[in-house]
Amino acid sequence: MAVVAKTATPWGPAELVEELMLAQRAGDKRFSSVVQLLEAPGGERLVRFAYATSGTARRGPVTLRRRDLERLRAGLAERPALAEALGGLGGGG
């Protein structure tokens, strides 16, 4: 049986459906931008952007450079539900 990851949102609990982590670096700092597709109990889908340091998600602004956006698009090609939730940003284009 698969373990379903649950998370809290301002609208209540949600399940993690898909997740994409983009490793980034600025000078000596290493972190990841995280894009998550969540599903609320009623079936509503939510997309959350965050950043992570040492594997721990943090709140705050997420900044992506052009090359990060290219990697985001490539990663979304392998996560169709998340790409669909973002309006079809995947597709390798």
Rounded to whole angstroms, how far apart are CA atoms 25 and 38? Answer: 26
> Can you give the pLDDT at residue 93?
46
Tens of pLDDT along 20-67?
Answer: 999 999 999 999 999 999 999 999 899 989 888 887 877 777 777 788
Grouping H, G, I as helix, E, B as strand and the rest as coil, residue 29 is strand
Tens of pLDDT along 2-32?
Answer: 667 888 888 889 999 999 999 999 999 999 9
Rounded to whole angstroms, how far apart are CA atoms 36 and 51? Answer: 11
Whether residue 92 is predicted with pLDDT greater than 60 in this model: the reply is no
> Can you give the pLDDT at residue 69?
85
* Distance between first and last Cα of the chain: 36
The whole-model pTM stands at: 0.75
Question: CA torsion sign, 79 to 67 to 92 to 73?
Answer: positive
